[in-house]
Chain A
Amino acid sequence: MESVWQRLRSDGYGMLGFYIIAVFALAALLVWSGLLGQSWAVVSGGRWESISSTHWFGTNLLGQDILQRTLFSSATAFEVGLSVTILSTLLGTVLGALAGWFRSSWLDELILWVKGVLDSIPFYLFAAAIAFALQGNRWAMHLAMVITFWTTTARIIRGEVIRLKQREFVEAARAIGLPPRTIIFRHVLPNTSHIVLVQATIVFVAAIKTEVILSFLGLGIQNGVSWGLMLAESSQEVLAGHFGNFAAASIALFLLLVGFNLLADSLQDAMDKRRSVS
Chain B
Amino acid sequence: MVVISCALLIWKIVYKPMNKLPYFVRRLLFGTALVLGVTFISFLLMVHFGPDKTYELIGKNPTEQQIAEVRHALGYDRSFLLRYGSYLRELVTLDFGLSDSSGEKVSSMLARSLPISLLLVVPGFVLGNGLGLILGMLAVWYRGRWLDRLVTGASVAGMSVSFLIIIIGLQVLLCTPHGLNLFPVRGWQVDGLASYLFYVTVPTLALVLVTLGYNTRYYRAIIADESEREHIHALKAYGATPYELMLKHVLKNSLVPILTRLMFSVPLVLISGSLLLESYFGIPGIGQVTFDAITSGDQPVLKAVIGLTGVLFALALTVNDFLYKVVDPRVARS
Contacts and interface: CB of A to CB of B under 8 A. Distances in A.
Interface of A: 106, 109-110, 113-114, 116-126, 128-130, 132-135, 205, 209, 212-213, 216-219, 228, 231-232, 234-235, 238-239, 241, 243, 246, 250, 253-254, 257-258, 260-262, 265
B319 to A, nearest CB: 13
Given A120-B38, A258-B157, A239 B162 contact: no
B271 A125 contact: yes
B165 A218 contact: no
A129 B297 CA distance: 9
Contact of A121 (B279, B291, B309): B309
Given A133-B49, A231-B165, A238-B178, 10 more contacts: A116-B314, A120-B314, A121-B42, A129-B302, A216-B164, A217-B294, A238-B172, A246-B172, A250-B165, A258-B156
A120 B314 CA distance: 6
Contact of B160 (A218, A231, A254): A254
Interface in B1-40: 8, 11-12, 15, 30, 33-34, 37-38
10 contacts: A122-B272, A122-B306, A122-B310, A133-B45, A134-B49, A213-B163, A218-B295, A234-B168, A246-B165, A261-B156
B272 A123 contact: yes
Given A110-B11, A122-B306, A132-B46, A262 B295 contact: no
Interface of B: 8, 11-12, 15, 30, 33-34, 37-38, 41-42, 44-46, 49-51, 156-157, 159-165, 168-169, 171-172, 176, 178, 185, 267-268, 271-272, 275-276, 279-280, 290-291, 294-295, 297, 302, 305-306, 309-311, 313-314, 317
Nearest to A265: B156
B41 A121 contact: yes
A146 to B, nearest CB: 15
B295 to A, nearest CB: 6
B333 to A, nearest CB: 12
A254 B306 contact: no
A265 B221 CA distance: 13
A250 B317 CA distance: 36
Contacts of B276: 213, 216
Contacts of B317: 116, 119-120
Contacts of A119: 313, 317
A232 B163 CA distance: 12
Contacts of B169: 246, 250
A239 B302 contact: no
Nearest to A239: B176
